[in-house]
Structure 1
Amino acid sequence: MTIPDAALTTPALDVLRDVFGYDAFRGEQQEIISTVVDGRDALVLMPTGGGKSLCYQIPALVRRGTGVVISPLIALMQDQVDALDALGVRAGFLNSTQDPGQRRAVEQAYRSGELDLLYLAPERLGVESTARLLDQGTIALFAIDEAHCVSQWGHDFRPDYLRLSELAERWPGVPRIALTATATQHTREEIATRLGLTEARHFVASFDRPNITYRVAPKDNPGKQLLDLLRTEHPGDAGIVYCLSRASVEKTAQQLTDQGIRALPYHAGLPAHVRAANQSTFLREDGVIMVATIAFGMGIDKPDVRFVAHLDLPKSVEGYYQETGRAGRDGLPSTAWLAYGLADVVQQRKMIAESDGDLAHRRRLSSHLDAMLALCETVECRRAQLLRYFDQDHPGSCGACDTCQNPPEAWDGTVPAQKLLSAVFRLDRERNQRFGVGHLVDILRGKSTPKITQWGHDSLTVFGVGEDLSDGEWRSVARQLLALGLLEVDSNHGTLLLTEASAEVLGRRREVRLRRDPRPQGSARKPARSRAARPEAAVLSDVDQEIFERLRAWRAAAAKEQGVPAYVVFHDATLRTVAAERPADLDALSGISGVGQAKLDRYGDGILAALQAQG
């Protein structure tokens, strides 16, 4: 029987309040939940930290049977189950980390109807014995998490996801909900097609994360720049630092450690037990920094990550958005910081030219990179540019990105572009020689280096014509010409070449507008944040801050005793509210957001005792 949406509000809202401790749904959560409880399919695009998991967890608790969650995050399933257990939700998982006895216990619990949620990896669902097991119980719904993994246009393709279209064929009456934190219109269409969700309702939430401040810094000694960021803005904070190579991960983690900052490496070249131990430390302890390749991060549910830093240019806007979205899941102010320079552009262009795959594949990679470069080089509000990529309008002037806080200048760079392109032309066409950016800048600046003298480049007509710009300004010009497609990289030698579009500039048929990097605001001063990026829960008095730290110490002890991550006990946002309101009894504590009945029963007396303890 079809239940009207209005009738679903009460049981779903009761679960939200009693189990999860929240008074109201956010955005389209209620409509999504009603759709799935009603037995209909849904495709949900919602930013990290937007409450995606509630969109399938609550229907699984309202509908009869067990919600089956398909997730690629094997290493995190135990933490996900622990978090649900803390809420009083009966959850289990089946994956390769379990011994036969553990698997049998979970399977029996499922058959007996004693599980509210069951987590499975996509490859396990493809095993016939797993399908037979599911036939022996009642399935409330299928939730396909990280659904962008099915898209070859997206940034994290997983072949195992392609088989998930078979779910509707084997279990036709079971509703399916596919969820992802990021997807363009193209990716969304591919997800729907590949998963057989063309008739599903689509829900696209706002991709704006107003609590995150986006900043792109010209790369100049990135290790020192990162250290500056951590010491002046995020001392003692948990965060993630992304690097392109394993060697860079190891080097950066060691540099931070040498400076007394607790940092751990994570990349695919480390032994599995080391990766698992480092990930567990990051999740379970406060103030740890993970230095990692993009192999790390999907599904990380740590709410108090205060910053995500990139020391190398991400390959796509989707990847960048997904990675930066791991900051500030609790809604408190956080930073997304990227160090970006000429070498990044050269390296990425070279990698695309050398990549496997056909011409269409390389064009797809180039389009991803072009969008990322446009985001880095924009003179507009960076948040507006980012959201525009996901087909979402934003008025700009967000006040919480570097281009709003310290606006860059747009200038007519046509003549400098002609000078640089002319230098490349004369070396390549007249002398059949190719050189990198540094040598070209030396020619334009009129430097009589041994290399220039040896090659006779001081006799070129372009020698010394660029003394009006500094070395750094010329490198910025070269970087932007590469970003605009007016120069390209020779994949064999890393030298610069002209493109077809270069002729338009050299022939004075095209104006070149460039971005002048603004002067740094001073590393000792924390950038201002907009009012939208300052939730009131984040602002504590000195006394409240002391109470908050006392509550964090209590939480750490409770988490260690139970062997779970600290955020499983309570999020920082909840502890901040407790510190500010100082509830005197369990009844007052129950009214605080994030305190459900199970957590009240388990932790209520402990948190009240911590509040009453002397500082």
Structure 2
Amino acid sequence: MADSRALAVLKDKFGYDSFRRGQDQVIERVLNGENTLAVMPTGGGKSLCYQIPALLEPGLTLVVSPLIALMKDQVDALNENGIAATFINSSLDYQEINHRLSMAALGEVKLLYVAPERFDAPGFIDELSRLNISILAVDEAHCISHWGHDFRPSYLHLSDVAAQLQSHPTVIALTATATKKVATDICERLDIPDGGFVSTGFARPNLTFNVIKDQDKDTYLLEYLKLNANQAGIIYASTIKEVDHVAALLASKHYPVTKYNGQMSSTERNQNQEDFLFDRKPIMVATNAFGMGIDKSNVRFVIHYQVPSDLESYYQEAGRAGRDGLPSDAILLYKANDIRTQLFFIENSDADEDHKAEQYRKLNKMKQYANTGDCLQQFILNYFGQTGTAPCGRCSNCLDDRDYQDITLDAQKVLSCIIRLRSGWGKGMLTKVLAGARDKKLLECNFDKLSTYGLLSSYRQKDIGSLIDFLTAEDYIQVGNGKFTTLGVSEKGGNVLRGKETVRRKMAAKAKQSLPVDDDMFQSLRALRMSLAEKNGVPPYMIFSDQTLRELCKEQPQTRVDMLSVRGIGQNKLDKYGDIFIDAIKDYLSAAEGDDTADRDEAAAN
């Protein structure tokens, strides 16, 4: 049962009557002084797991956060809720840092956000030891693991911070994406006991996952944006060249778009990010340099224009859609050629051979996700070790109403060719042999003499490659790890060769109108929110989320007491904005009633 004090803070400061699954369990452990790892999906409310204990514990909560934008975002949101918080990072000069440390020492703030790199600075631990730190919160905790998708060496310093601080604070680590291997690594490094691992699962019920394969990406993208107009979203590309291409394409069609990559100046990045957060340009095209910790709650779609390097990265980036719990889309536009970009990144990285082998393995799993015919959400959950779940019923595979085509004969041709090649070659050579190519290496190996040479010569090579990817994703083909991945026939594939199993595949998808269309009242309240946001210098979602706006449209509160019953409106937000929105709702309803009366009078006159 949730702590009554924690529930009171939840309602008063954040405007919610009950905790989401797992939040109360984590909060109880932290309040009991027990080190804890919380693994919750993006949008699952991880930050409340340390923010609420921070307001209940007598000392300071120190939050380690990896990005300047993330810190500012979270501190602004806390201040908007009437909670005293500040941050220390490289954007501040020495005098301002000392001032903020003094504020923390005097108890003028309850939460202090710091970058992990601060612990590299000589004497920083000594400065922190002068503070009464009750809780050490490590956000994006997967960054501490060598096996995580976003390992950061600066996080390794956090392993003994709690022990070095005189107050020996309780440690809470938080992440949205951690395989069992990564979770174990986090717990070992941060002294979290076996019983301290709390996971609420990885499912995102409000997200619809889609894979769009081997289609013209620009055509699909433009059609999707046309059908789902006036929505905020992020479009990820793997290279700066593709970011520039997509941003220019959308700008040429007059979409409100901006862009972000690591090679832009900090001034330009900050301005573009602010334009996105404030909904001035609600479509962001970016490399993966953008987004970690961005709390913008009204992102309705995340589209990957190119395949990312691994499922952890993909799920974290896709999870930036629908943080407010409203229906949202996560779409992967997949072409097999995009894999070459990720292979180039791996081959030219500074990682040792063991880590490169792990990266190749993860990239192969990403390929399987793009080519599976099974439930996409289920595939992701299985990857993170959450097995036994039912199909989501929402993804492009679950809702695929295209007819199946029996491809058993073509599958047998592919599998037979793998055997003829004696499982010593990869996808490239297999494709060429089946296509009947006159490749120099192929001819040198006498593969043109194989009985399977040219068996699929009526197909384009890219279509043969797509078929091979599909058979791999469905476990008919086994893939070895390493830079040069060799292919073999699995037991399941052997059954196909022996005629004991058939292979069926669905064939191209079209963009759909998939996101809800907002009504006039919502648009009116959203315009008011934008005006207040510009006036107060905060992003619109920090005033009220889209979910709160929709509840206001549904409940249409007429008094401050009514207003306080709406999810997401606590006392501080009520005092700031309650009367303004109540008046706006009354004005809208009065105008709507006047329109209805005029319509009735006109109808009677006719």
1:546 is displaced (CA, Å) by 1.1
CA 567–509 in structure 1, closer or farther in 2 if over 3 Å, else same: same
The answer for the alignment partner of 2:601 in structure 1 is none
The answer for the alignment partner of 1:38 in structure 2 is 32
The answer for the alignment partner of 1:391 in structure 2 is 385
Q: Deviations over 1:563-604 (max 9, x none)?
A: 111111110100110011110011110111100000100111
Q: 1:183 aligns with which of 168, 178, 182?
A: 178
Q: Deviations over 1:329-360 (max 9, x none)?
A: 01111111001122134444455455543332
1:468 is displaced (CA, Å) by 5.8
* Counterpart code for 1:479: D
The answer for the alignment partner of 2:559 in structure 1 is 585
CA distance in 1, matches of 2:34, 2:396: 43
The answer for the alignment partner of 2:467 in structure 1 is 477
The answer for the alignment partner of 2:594 in structure 1 is none
CA distance in 1, matches of 2:350, 2:378: 34
Give 1:76-475 correspondences, 5 Å limit.
76-171=70-165, 173-198=168-193, 201-232=196-227, 234-285=228-279, 288-349=282-343, 351-353=345-347, 355-406=349-400, 409=404, 411-412=407-408, 413-418=410-415, 421=418, 443=436, 465-466=455-456, 469=459, 473-475=463-465
The answer for the alignment partner of 1:535 in structure 2 is none
1:134 is displaced (CA, Å) by 2.3
1:361 is displaced (CA, Å) by 1.6
1:510 is displaced (CA, Å) by 8.1
* Counterpart code for 1:214: F
CA 513–276 in structure 1, closer or farther in 2 if over 3 Å, else same: farther
1:71 maps onto 2:80 in alignment: no
TM-score (norm 2): 0.86
**Structure 1: 5+ residue stretches without partners:** 1-5, 530-537
Q: Deviations over 1:467-510 (max 9, x none)?
A: 5656664232243467676689997xxxx996566999899978
CA 237–440 in structure 1, closer or farther in 2 if over 3 Å, else same: farther
1:260 is displaced (CA, Å) by 1.2
Residue range with higher mean Cα deviation, 414-423 or 276-285: 414-423
1:278 is displaced (CA, Å) by 1.0
* Counterpart code for 1:132: D
CA 509–205 in structure 1, closer or farther in 2 if over 3 Å, else same: same
Q: 1:561 aligns with which of 507, 511, 535?
A: 535
CA distance in 2, matches of 1:43, 1:482: 35
1:104 is displaced (CA, Å) by 3.5
1:370 is displaced (CA, Å) by 2.5
1:526 maps onto 2:513 in alignment: yes
1:418 is displaced (CA, Å) by 4.8
CA contact (8 A) 1:414 1:513 kept: no
CA distance in 2, matches of 1:507, 1:26: 46
Partner secondary structure for residue 560 of structure 1: helix
Q: Deviations over 1:218-275 (max 9, x none)?
A: 132212222222222x211111111111111111111111111122121111111111
CA contact (8 A) 2:257 2:281 kept: no
Partner secondary structure for residue 119 of structure 1: strand
CA 553–195 in structure 1, closer or farther in 2 if over 3 Å, else same: same
- May I ask how many residue pairs the two structures share in their alignment? 581
The answer for the alignment partner of 2:578 in structure 1 is 604
The answer for the alignment partner of 2:568 in structure 1 is 594
1:404 is displaced (CA, Å) by 0.7
CA distance in 1, matches of 2:488, 2:373: 26
CA distance in 1, matches of 2:573, 2:207: 29
CA 579–394 in structure 1, closer or farther in 2 if over 3 Å, else same: farther
CA contact (8 A) 1:380 1:403 kept: yes
Partner secondary structure for residue 297 of structure 1: coil
CA distance in 2, matches of 1:115, 1:370: 47
**Structure 2: 5+ residue stretches without partners:** 592-606
The answer for the alignment partner of 2:595 in structure 1 is none
The answer for the alignment partner of 2:526 in structure 1 is 552
1:423 is displaced (CA, Å) by 9.8
CA 308–503 in structure 1, closer or farther in 2 if over 3 Å, else same: closer
CA distance in 2, matches of 1:463, 1:19: 69
Q: CA RMSD in A?
A: 3.6
